[in-house]
């Protein structure tokens, strides 16, 4: 298992113009396979990758799949990403990599992380997200786009092709800044303001609502996202009745009685905080 830091402006390979144009054209697409499919097509002009997933990591929330694609069926990626997001992301060494590099917004570093199947210690994570779809290798491109928000582009390799070679890793290092820039622009292409509001709440909730405990903030974040009690319980691995307890405590501390009042209170506190 290794990772490398790449300069954001160091793309240095000759790329297929048709595939590159398709990738740029997919930025902002609402089709869940579009940009990952274009990224996979481009990377496959240099590297034998078989699947691609693009994920967002937003503070204490579970990761979100932004886009997924496969040379076989995109459902392989969607199913593995669902299991990863709900059950296994805390077992991923990528989170430790995220925690190690600084939150610089001027020129955030691009990280390339290499993880083979045998590097994964958790047997359930290894089975459900790798072995069940015959994946043996992953190269992940990671970039931080805000204080508590990071994005990852993952390229996975089937057993049929063996592990990534040093030459292929070198080629991906050359393409990494391009993919990082594209996923960052795709993530920012948010017509309804959802990502910007989620990001603001993620970054600022601990400051604007300091009276809440960490677990209460986790519940409040998910309530603001529109998650049901059952979904919050599933995400946080707690009972629905425990979610209700944390929600009740948070509402009492904030002086609200509904999601509508919670939303208004958080916005009001945020507006006061930024003046």
The per-residue DSSP string of the chain comes to: -EEEEE-TT---S---HHHHHHHHHHTT--STTHHHHHHHHHHTTTS---EEEEEEEETTSPPEEEEEEESS-HHHHHHHHHHIIIIIGGG-THHHHHHHS---SSSPPEEEEEEEGGG---HHHHHHHTGGGTEEEEEEEEEEEETTEEEEEEEEEEGGG-SPPHHHHHHHHHHHHHHHHHHHHHHH--TTSHHHHHHHHHHHHHHH-TTS-HHHHHHHHHHHTT--HHHHHHHHTS-HHHHHHHHHHHHHHHT--SHHHHHHHHHHHHHHHH-
CA dist list (Å): 181 to 31, 198, 221: 19, 20, 27
Domain ranges of the chain: 2-188, 194-274
Domains 2-188 and 194-274 share a fold: no
Give the pLDDT confidence score for residue 100 in this predicted structure. 81
Q: Give me the DSSP letters along 141-210.
A: EEEEEETTEEEEEEEEEEGGG-SPPHHHHHHHHHHHHHHHHHHHHHHH--TTSHHHHHHHHHHHHHHH-T
Give the pLDDT confidence score for residue 10 in this predicted structure. 62
What's domain 2-188's architecture?
2-Layer Sandwich (3.30)
Q: Is the pTM of this model over 0.85?
A: no
Helix 214-224 vs helix 240-254: angle between axes, to the nearest 10 degrees? 90
Residues near 171 by Cβ (< 8 Å), separated by ≥ 6?
13, 46, 47
Q: What φ, ψ does residue 152 adopt, rounded to 5°?
A: -130, 135
Class of domain 194-274: mainly alpha
Give the pLDDT confidence score for residue 203 in this predicted structure. 56
What value, to the nearest 5°, has the Cα angle with vertex 213 and ends 234 and 202? 70
Predicted confidence pLDDT, tens digits, the chain (275 residues) = 798 988 766 666 778 899 999 999 999 998 889 999 999 999 999 999 999 999 999 877 788 899 999 998 888 899 899 889 888 999 999 998 888 876 665 667 899 999 999 999 999 999 999 999 899 999 999 999 887 789 999 999 999 999 999 999 999 999 999 999 999 999 987 533 455 555 555 556 777 788 989 889 889 888 887 788 988 888 788 899 999 999 999 999 999 998 888 888 877 776 655 44
Sole residue written with tokens 């990403």 = 81
């Amino acid at each position: 298992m290794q990772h490398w830091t790449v300069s954001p402006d160091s793309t240095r390979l000759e790329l297929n113009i048709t595939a590159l144009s398709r990738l740029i054209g997919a930025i902002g697409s609402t089709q869940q396979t579009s940009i990952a499919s274009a990224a996979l097509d481009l990377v496959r002009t240099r590297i034998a990758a078989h699947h691609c997933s693009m994920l967002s990591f937003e503070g204490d929330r579970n990761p979100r799949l932004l886009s997924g694609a496969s040379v076989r069926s995109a459902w392989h990626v969607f199913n593995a990403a669902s299991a990863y997001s709900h059950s296994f992301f805390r077992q991923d060494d990528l989170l430790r990599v995220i925690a190690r590099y600084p939150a610089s917004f001027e020129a955030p570093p691009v990280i390339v992380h290499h993880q083979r199947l045998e590097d994964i210690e958790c047997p359930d994570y290894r089975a459900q997200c790798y072995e069940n779809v015959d994946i043996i290798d992953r190269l992940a491109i990671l970039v931080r786009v805000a204080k508590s928000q990071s994005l990852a582009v993952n390229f996975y390799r089937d057993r049929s092709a063996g592990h990534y070679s040093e030459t292929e890793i070198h080629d991906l290092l050359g393409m990494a800044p391009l993919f990082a820039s594209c996923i960052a622009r795709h993530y920012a292409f948010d017509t309804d303001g959802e990502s910007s509001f989620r990001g603001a709440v993620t970054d600022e909730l601990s400051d604007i609502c300091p009276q809440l405990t960490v677990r209460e903030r986790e519940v409040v974040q998910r309530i603001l996202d529109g998650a049901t009690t059952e979904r919050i319980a599933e995400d946080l691995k707690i009972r629905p009745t425990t979610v209700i307890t944390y929600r009740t405590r948070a509402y009492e501390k904030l002086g609200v009685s509904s999601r509508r009042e919670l939303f208004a209170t958080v916005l009001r506190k945020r507006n006061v905080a930024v003046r």
